[in-house]
């Protein structure tokens, strides 16, 4: 069964596709400027993967198998610490990735559309981390 077979789920997938397509077009247009092209490719990849994930519900599969692994390793009693560490690592990875992208962008190539795209990517990363933290009830100490 697909992750969200209702209308809102498909609207969300449509929004991700609606972001993916222009990012691919911009990557093709900015072919001559590698740092700009890199940002569009990253944005296209992120929105494309989020769209696929939205319908295939890959995060649920990953969490289920992760839970089984934690149980098998005898770490289930420490799951609160593992949740906090995993969300923190993801957040730090997003911050490092965004900083690396920004660092590789030449200041002259950061025109308004790219600034908006970079801000959008930062907001999307913040949303993913916040959603994961809320979903896992990080800091609550309960299942």
pLDDT attached to residue 143: 46
Residues 16 and 48: beta-carbon distance below 8 Å: yes
Residue 6 confidence (pLDDT) above 60: yes
Residue 117 lies in a domain: yes
Structural domains in the chain (count) = 1
User: What pLDDT, in 10s, does the model give residues 7-59?
Assistant: 888 898 899 999 999 999 989 988 877 778 888 898 999 999 999 988 888 88
Residue 84 lies in a domain: yes
Domain span at 18: 7-135
pTM of the model as a whole: 0.74
| Residues whose CB falls within 8 Å of the CB of residue 48, separated by 6 or more in sequence, listed in order | 16, 20
Long-range contacts of 95-101 (CB under 8 A, 24+ apart): 95/125, 97/125, 98/122, 98/125, 101/38, 101/39, 101/42
């Amino acid at each position: 069964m697909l992750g969200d077979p209702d209308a809102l789920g498909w609207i969300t997938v449509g929004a991700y596709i609606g972001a993916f397509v222009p990012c691919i077009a911009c990557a093709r247009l900015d072919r001559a400027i590698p740092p700009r092209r890199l940002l569009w490719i990253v944005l296209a990849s992120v929105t494309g993967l989020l769209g696929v994930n939205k319908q295939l519900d890959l995060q649920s599969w990953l969490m289920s198998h992760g839970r089984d692994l934690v149980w098998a390793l005898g770490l289930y009693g420490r799951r609160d610490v593992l949740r906090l560490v995993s969300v923190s690592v993801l957040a730090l990875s997003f911050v490092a990735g965004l900083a690396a992208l920004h660092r590789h962008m030449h200041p002259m190539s950061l025109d308004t559309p790219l600034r908006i795209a970079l801000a959008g990517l930062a907001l999307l990363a913040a949303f993913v981390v916040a959603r994961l933290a809320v979903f896992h009830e990080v800091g609550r100490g309960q299942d």
